[in-house]
A = this chain, B = another copy of it.
Amino acid sequence: MARPKNQEARRGALIDAAGRAIADRGMAGLRIKDIAAEAGVSAGSVLYYYPELDDLVLAVHQEAVENYLAARQRRADEPDGPVDRMRAALASGLPSGPDDGMHRLLFELHGLADRSTAHAALMASLFAREVALYSTLLQVGAAAGAFTLAAAPVADLARNLVAMEDGYGLHIVARNPSVDRDTALALLTAHARTITGCPGL
């Protein structure tokens, strides 16, 4: 036998390539040759590793969710103290601008959820984990005395934060001229200040 090589690495490269292709052509305009070009191989090779294109897209979604979540967690863990951590978390949830690849990708994939339970599950998991992230931050901040939480379940406050984030993210990525990242962040932060009663945010 022979050729035990790096199938795993190739798959990974294709996943990355497909992610880029989706982010800048959109799901609607996605062509196999774009993925191939992005990965620097021929169209045939893409099919060799992913005879079913849907599997590739699903892999892209999985990767994207994990990477995005890991990056947010990392950024939120970086600073010291609940206040700065909350600030970091808020900042990490909005696209850097209309061309933020990760957010573009996630919103595109998001759109598959209503017709695919697998994608719906990924989207739901992303949401749940973002909620968990905020829940923890709120809880810790309250315990440390930095936040005075409104009289509502922490999980509810967290869900509202994530929903607002998603809403603004959508508008930023869609190039709504009246919603740029900076104003969105300011508004989101203002909301966070309200629910935490923490003027330092």
Stoichiometry, copies per complex:
2
Indicate whether A171 sits within 8 Å of B166 (C-beta atoms), given known contacts A26-B111, A111-B111, A187-B156.
yes
CB under 8 Å from chain B, chain A span 165-183 = 165-168, 170-171, 173-179
Shortest beta-carbon distance from A58 to chain B in Å: 15
Interface centre among A104, A152, A166, A173 (most CB of B within 10 A): A166
Query: Given the known A-B contacts A28-B28, A123-B176, A177-B124, are A163 and B152 also in contact in the complex, defined by CB atoms under 8 Å?
Result: no
* Residues on A facing B (Cβ under 8 Å): 26-28, 98, 104, 107-108, 110-111, 113-115, 117, 120, 123-124, 127-128, 150, 152, 156, 159-160, 162-168, 170-171, 173-179, 184, 187-188, 190-191, 194-195
